[in-house]
Amino acid sequence: MKRPDRLSIGGLACLLVLVVFALGSLAGAGGDPDAIVGPRLQPPGPGWWLGTDNLGRSMVPRVMEGVGTTLLLSSLAVLVTAAVSATFGIIAGYRGGYLNELVMRLVEVLYSFPAIVLAILVAAVLGPGQVAASASIVLVTIPLMTRLVRAAAVAVSQRDYVTSAVISGARLPRVLGRHVLPNVAGTIAVQGTYALSVGIAVEGGLSFLGFGVQPPQASLGVLIQQGGTYMIAAPWLILGPGVVLVAAILSINVVGDGLRDQLEPRETRSLT
């Protein structure tokens, strides 16, 4: 296993900082995000390091709350995606036949929709809110992960140790759980990081359009949407959450690239 490159380490460090901010917001470390601390639309200064919003609230605790909401919502949705994709991808790849065709046709139907269009359709059915945002992330990220897990399961199911387990009389759950799943876990982990970055983008887009997280709760998409109203008079309202959103997506993608290089060394591509 090769040593992680500096870019991957930097991405991981950035991601850990964002996680610390998210945990800090849950512990109230940044202060009350709804407290009015000064005049409205004040630029960054000693009393409010990211400025104040249109109600006079400090942007620091609000950005911290937004990071926590976005990361938590996206992470929970991606965990659901990983569970569903692993289950159907492994079964379809191992069993093949009509079950494989059924799963892949359903996946292709979902994959045919542009991500934001599918997310808006889900939000229109379920109504704006966190449930709609979570369901949208799951439906947007399931297709690609299922296809890749299924491809990995097809390759693993042809290995000698799987054939030996079947010949020895091992039952299907044991074959899938002990021989197939551990050998596609790397694919699931790598795709999970990419799915998380997509989930953050989907949540930000939905909340920006008003279909995701609803005020007064803050998420990065909500903060960008609210800051867009004052983009000329108070650009710091959109700059802070916008930079954090981009940093989160980029750092997760970099970590995913590094993780792929560690788990798939024969396909390693240097990032530096």
Q: How confident is the model at residue 1 (pLDDT cuts 50, 70, 90)?
A: low
Domains belonging to the chain, first-starting first, are 6-19+52-263 (1.10.3720.10)
Angle CA 201–203–204, to nearest 5: 65
Cα–Cα dist 228/224, whole Å: 6
pLDDT at 271 over 90: no
The contacts of residue 40 (CB under 8 Å, 6+ apart) are 52, 53, 54, 55, 56
For residue 68, is pLDDT > 60? yes
% of the chain with per-residue pLDDT over 90: 56
Least confident of 17-21, 95-99, 195-199, 247-251: 95-99
168-197 pLDDT, tens digit each? 888 888 888 888 998 898 899 999 999 999
- Residue 2 binned pLDDT confidence (cut-offs 50, 70, 90): low
Over residues 4-13, the pLDDT tens digits come to 778 889 999 9
Closest by Cα among 5, 7, 11 to 250: 11
pTM of the entire structure?
Answer: 0.89
Highest mean pLDDT pick, 46-60, 123-137, 158-172? 123-137
Written as one string, the DSSP assignment of 141-157 is HHHHHHHHHHHHHHHHH
Residue-wise DSSP of 154-168: HHHHTSHHHHHHHHT
Look-up of token digits 């290995």: 159
